[in-house]
Amino acid sequence: MKRRHAWALCAWLAFPVLANRQAVDDAGNTVTLPDQVHAIADGWFAHHSVLMTLGAGKQIVATVNHPKSQPWMFKINPSLNQALQVHGTTFNPESLIARKVDVLFVAKGNADLSVYRQAAIPTLAMVFTDYPSLMTSVSNTATALGSESARTRAAAYNHYLTDTLAVIAAKTAKLTDAQRPRVLHIQSFNPLKVDGSNTLIDTWINLAGGRNVAAEIKGNMKEVSPEKVLLWQPEIIIIGAGAGDIAHSRYVQLFADVKAVKRGNVWQNPAGVFPWDRYGTESALQLQWAAMKLHPELFPEIDMVARTRAFYQHFFDYPLSTAEAQRILHALPPEN
């Protein structure tokens, strides 16, 4: 009990200005915030891309991400190199108070949420599992940041994503099952894990004009047997960032008879600030990449190098070069 009181006292000393503003997080909780947000801690890996999209990346003073796992994030937002970096998703409350953190974002369900709030650290629980909830999370984050700039950028991003969804859906909605290639998304080879239905991955596969062969399995990163892959016979395999490749996996001989492997349709998924295929704002680029790859005849206008450069300039304030865009599209880290 004394420890809790000590945290609260430290928080009061660190934040002498009254907090009068309120915001609602993605879990529906109302959180009282300081009038101005200067220092941010982020305990959810994917949420960093939202903060960067809203122009608040430089305000992150405590992070769960690392240069080795997310090299483009640290390249494009180099101030993260000076931030407190923790392994896992747990911050020491005293460390956040010492850094005068104004707001902490965590993933919904984070076990430490009550501890942070007992320490008088304004903490918001965030979650997005599909495109509508992603846009809601972007808007809620902007409201929590409290600046007109963040709200303007949130509206711009949500408009961009809405337009992207509409343009792609207009061309793929009428495709028959026979016209939709059978796609498998592999998240890991060791162990072998795939992404099933009720996921953002399943959503973009279908929107881009494909069929998820693992749809019978519900959820992200589900372990399966290699025999399942042989039974599914995907026509296209997309491999997530960090998973490696089939040629250097234990399944190189076993998967030689899979249609996608036979036809040379095994693709490495792009990875930038965050892996495009998973939960971040770059999912707007993932949609375009997947649509162009699955149906080049429907999307001849999509130049992914140009679109990637434009996105990074507009939403991350970073002048991405052509060479850098090509490295991101091939899931390669920055040079040097």
Torsion, Cα of 283, 284, 287, 288 (10° steps): -140
Q: Please give the single-letter amino acid code of residue 250.
A: R
Specify the fold of 2-148. Rossmann fold (3.40.50)
Q: Please give the single-letter amino acid code of residue 15.
A: F
Q: Tokens 């997080």 map to which residue?
A: 25
Q: Does the structural domain 173-329 have CATH classification 2.40.100.10?
A: no
Residue among 143, 106, 113 at smallest CA distance from 127: 106
Domain coordinates in residue numbering, the chain: 2-148, 173-329
Domains 2-148 and 173-329 equal at CATH topology level: yes
Alpha-carbon distance of 265 to 298, in angstroms, equals 18
First CA to last CA distance, the chain: 49
Two tokens, residue 315: 């939403």
pLDDT in tens, the chain (336 residues): 445 444 444 544 444 445 579 999 999 999 999 999 999 999 999 999 999 999 999 999 999 999 999 999 999 999 999 999 999 999 999 999 999 999 999 999 999 999 999 999 999 999 998 999 999 999 999 999 999 999 999 999 999 999 999 999 999 999 999 999 999 999 999 999 999 999 999 999 999 999 999 999 999 999 999 999 999 999 999 999 888 889 889 999 999 999 999 999 999 999 999 999 988 999 999 999 999 999 999 999 999 999 999 999 999 999 999 999 999 999 999 997
Two tokens, residue 219: 């959820």
Alpha-carbon distance of 279 to 76, in angstroms, equals 18
pLDDT at 242: 85
pLDDT at 7: 47
Residue among 157, 117, 85, 150 at smallest CA distance from 315: 157
pLDDT at 19: 56
Instruction: Report the SS3 class of residue 333.
Output: coil
pTM reported for the whole predicted model:
0.91
